[in-house]
Structure 1
Amino acid sequence: MSEPIKIDVWSDIACPWCFIGKRRFEGGSGLFAGAGEGRAVEVEYHSFELSPDTPVDFDGSEVDFLAGHKGIPAEQVGEMLERVTGIASSLGLNYDYDNLKHTNTVKAHELLHFAKANGKQLELAERLFSAYFEQGRHVGRIEDLADLAAEVGLDRAEALAALESSQYLEDVRADQRTAAEFGINGVPFFVIDGKYGVSGAQEAQTFAQVLEQVWTERQAVTA
């Protein structure tokens, strides 16, 4: 059996296209895996903060934040959110911007590194995205994050201690430095097999094609 194709994903929990991109990549990797024996991928998430200056407890709606932060007219923001909500819905995601709690995501990124160290990163990424976009949960406060960690089978007390001590903050910063070195200035960004970069929430078929290309190249080398 061949080694799984490594997928490094730079994303932010507060990025609506990152959750959409996650679903589309899962669709594409499923198409790829179903095309023949021995095909597999290994996914690792890396930290990227879209708005690092956001307060943990932002007083206002997502419209308020985007209108203030990006300088976009509120009416236009509403149209943007409606569009992205429709695209998410087509993938089975139920974005709820009325109840979304905008927050700083650095602690969520620290928790993803804690989860990686404990073999639960993919489960936690899914949980955080859903909690933020679909369930109106707070993903910026450490107590709330520890609760979410426990929900995917991580030790709550250990997660809380890691967040309180900022144990994984340097890992977050290292991811961000690597993103800067790669020239990544928007997310989601997928690095496939360490050599191909795919920017944005591409369609599932696009991901499947890139994976197929990497697979074909590998077979040519080992033939």
Structure 2
Amino acid sequence: MRVDIWTDIVCPWCYIGQARFDAALAGFEHRDQVEVVQHSYELAPDLSPAETGPVLEMLMDKYGMSREQAEQAEARVAGLAAAEGLPYTSNRANGNTFDAHRLLHLAAERGLGDDLRRALYRANFGGEASVFDADALTEIASSVGLDAAEARSVLAGDAYGDAVREDERTAAQIGVRGVPFFVLDGKYGVSGAQETGTLIEALNQVWNETHRAPGAPAEGA
């Protein structure tokens, strides 16, 4: 079974949703037969790489919130992150993630995509480092085993830009309007940071529907 996932590393719901999916997959009986393919999605594709700013100000500008409302919204998300054992701070920046996504495609080719994605999430939401600065991105990439010179070369050019855009075109074609977005076996879409139990149920349902013999009852029926 294949699971395609669209995420952005500055999306708090993707951060939480990925953790919940990882837990669901760990508890899935057929996990060794699941291929997970990650895809790029930018929440702020129109921003230039230089346009970064505090996430609270972004929330205030984008949603018309007061600072108090933005702080309260962030506090609610922080509580959900904490429930998943994830570090979370509102003292972080917001900006364009195109370069980080290009680096993720390099990492995927080297078998380090999951490691880099988790490191980028920690760096951003844990307030460890910027995910918008080339030097910081290179250091994060190096910390998970990517060659620093190769990472720096990718960031200095336009490598993997087409791969990012292809992911985003595919998302548009299938109607993705927000992330995280999961597609199970190319047929079943699951949107949002669903609870771990819900994701396990979805994995089991799709597995039963696509792997049982014609006319055979579903597992547990």
CA shift in 2, pair 1:51/1:43, >3 Å: same
Q: 1:84 aligns with which of 70, 77, 80?
A: 77
Which of 18, 36, 54 matches 1:43? Answer: 36
CA RMSD for the aligned pairs? 1.7
Q: In structure 2, give the amino acid aligned to 1:114.
A: L
Contact 2:101 2:164 in 1 (8 A): yes
1:116-127 equivalent positions in 2, closer than 5 A? 116-127=108-119
Q: Deviations over 1:117-146 (max 9, x none)?
A: 111111111111111001341111222111
Cα pair 2:52 2:95 within 8 Å, conserved:
no
Structure 1, gaps ≥5 residues long: none
Which digits, 9 at most, give the CA deviation of each residue in 1:169-209, with x for residues without a partner?
A: 01000001000001101000001111110000001111111
CA contact (8 A) 1:44 1:122 kept: no
What does residue 187 of structure 1 align with? Answer: 179
Deviation at 1:71, TM superposition (A): 2.2
Counterpart of 2:16, as a letter, is I
Tell me whether 1:138 sits opposite 2:134 in the alignment: no
Deviation at 1:69, TM superposition (A): 2.8
Distance 2:51 2:85 in 1: 28
Displacement after TM superposition at 1:109 (Å): 0.6
Secondary structure of residue in 2 paired with 1:210: helix
Say if 2:96 and 2:132, in contact at 8 Å, map to a contact too: yes
In structure 1, the residue matched to 2:15 is 19
Match of 1:68 among 41, 61, 66: 61
Q: Would you say 1:9 and 2:1 are equivalent positions?
A: no
The CA deviation at 1:17 is 0.4
Q: 1-side partners of 2:76 and 2:124: how far apart?
A: 18
1:104-119 superposed matches below 5 A:
104-119=96-111
> What SS does the aligned partner of 2:182 have?
strand
Q: Note the C-alpha offset of 1:55.
A: 4.3
Distance 2:160 2:134 in 1: 13
Q: For the Cα contact (< 8 Å) 1:21–1:200, is it kept in 2?
A: yes
Spell out, residue by residue over 1:146-189, the C-alpha distance to the aligned partner (whole angstroms, 9 max, x if none). 11111110111111111211110010000010000011010000
Corresponding residue for residue 167 of structure 2: 175
Name the amino acid aligned to 1:95. Y
* Equivalent residues, number: 215
What is the 5 A alignment of 1:145-164? 145-164=137-156
Counterpart residue type for residue 93 of structure 1: L
**Partners of 1:111 and 1:159 within 8 A in 2:** yes
Structure 1 residue 59: deviation in Å? 5.7
State the match for 1:32 in structure 2. Answer: 28
CA distance in 1, matches of 2:182, 2:47: 25
Aligned equivalents of 1:140, 1:38: Cα separation in 2:
34
Give, in whole Å, the separation in 2 of the partners of 1:38 and 1:75. 43
Aligned to 2:192: 200
Partner of 1:129: 121
SS in structure 2 at match of 1:20 = helix
1:82 Cα shift?
0.4
